[in-house]
A = this chain, B = another copy of it.
Amino acid sequence: MTTQDLYPTRLGQEVKMLERHDPVVWGSGEGSALTAAQVESYECDGYLQLPALFSESEVEAFQEEIAKLTSDRELLASERVIIEPDEDSLALRSVFDVHREGMFRDLVRDERVSNVARQLLGSDVYIHQSRINLKPPFRGKEFFWHSDFETWHAEDGMPSMRALSASVSLTENVHSNGPLMVIPGSHKHFVACGGETPAEHHRESLRRQEIGVPSDEMLTRLADESEVRNLVGPIGSVTFFDCNLMHGSNGNITPQARRNVFFVYNSVHNTLVEPFAAPARRPNHIAARNFEAVPLPVG
């Protein structure tokens, strides 16, 4: 049996806008984590911010954990670490696969986050990807517009739009330090991208993406129908956003770093098949093939 490709992309076709076939909120949408109004807001905009969900002291502990990770020479030498795209830069851009032990293992299980994912995706969930984004001060580069799902579908074989990201702000997100920007409502369209995925594409794309990028025309259409919104908020805020929401962020020349840790929850009913438009699977530290459900918190 082959899985039908509802979202053809990078198959040499023209860039075009397709409709979304999947619901945004799966199941009844009922649960203990979010109110009906919050669920509705997520359904409509494609994201939901919960300000200061974690306390400052919890965030301090996360920062200490990151300091430990980023001084671990073995980790720094590994493929889990992505460096900023400027050729002469040694600044860390991202560290992947941080949820398998220690404090971030506890964090993905924390019901303040995981129960939101379960409620919106209407099932048990597992972690598809985790990373720390360390947009450095002064010279942090932009993340160009993209739908995560477009990549996860093409390169990882994620069949349906039944996943979301939870991004925990470890620094204040202000308008000037390159905060997450979204186009609310854009998650209801699917922008099929041109080109074809080259082999080992992730080695380049995680620094600076050029394939799987929507066209200027499509972005203009999406923004004209809606707006571009900066998501700002205090330390410890969590932004949940749909896997197909068009998002990106500008660079950061300010002295203030913009750090977050984020987790992709995927439904256990939406586990990966073979990539829909790539010559090979991406490695496990970028696209996990351990589909074990995040356990419910004890007690």
Q: Are B145 and A175 in contact (CB under 8 A)?
A: no
The interface centre, meaning the residue of A176, A224, A228 with most chain B CB atoms within 10 A of its CB, is A176
Tell which of A112-120, A136-144, A288-296 binds the partner. Answer: A136-144
The number of residues on chain A lying at the interface, defined by a beta carbon within 8 Å of a beta carbon of chain B, is: 28
A52 at the interface (CB under 8 A from B): no
Contacts of A174 in B (CB 8 A): 228
User: What 1/0 flags go to A144-161 for Cβ under 8 Å of B?
Assistant: 110000000000000000
Pick the contact of A256: B137, B228, B229, B256 (CB < 8 A).
Answer: B228
The 25 listed contacts between A and B (C-beta, < 8 Å) are: A137-B216, A138-B216, A138-B219, A142-B251, A145-B253, A175-B175, A175-B230, A176-B181, A176-B229, A176-B230, A177-B228, A178-B250, A181-B253, A219-B255, A223-B255, A224-B255, A228-B254, A228-B256, A248-B253, A249-B253, A250-B250, A250-B251, A250-B252, A250-B253, A251-B251
Across the interface, name the chain B residue whose C-beta is closest to A222. Answer: B255
Contacts of A145 in B (CB 8 A): 253
A205 at the interface (CB under 8 A from B): no
A38 at the interface (CB under 8 A from B): no
In the complex, given contacts A223-B256, A250-B250, what are 14 additional A-B residue pairs having Cβ atoms less than 8 angstroms apart?
A142-B251, A174-B228, A175-B175, A176-B230, A176-B250, A219-B255, A223-B254, A223-B255, A224-B255, A228-B254, A249-B253, A250-B251, A250-B253, A251-B251
A220 at the interface (CB under 8 A from B): yes
Given A175-B230, A181-B176, A228-B176, A253-B144 contact (CB < 8 Å) = yes
Assembly CA distance A174 to B229 (angstroms): 10
Assembly CA distance A177 to B224 (angstroms): 15
Interface residues of A in 245-265 (CB under 8 A from B): 248-256
* Top 3 A-B pairs, shortest CB-CB distance: A175-B175, A220-B255, A223-B255
Contacts of A178 in B (CB 8 A): 250
Across the interface, name the chain B residue whose C-beta is closest to A145. Answer: B253
Contacts of A252 in B (CB 8 A): 250
A245, chain B: closest CB distance, angstroms: 15
Interface residues of A in 165-209 (CB under 8 A from B): 174-178, 181
Assembly CA distance A176 to B176 (angstroms): 9
Assembly CA distance A184 to B60 (angstroms): 29
Assembly CA distance A219 to B252 (angstroms): 13
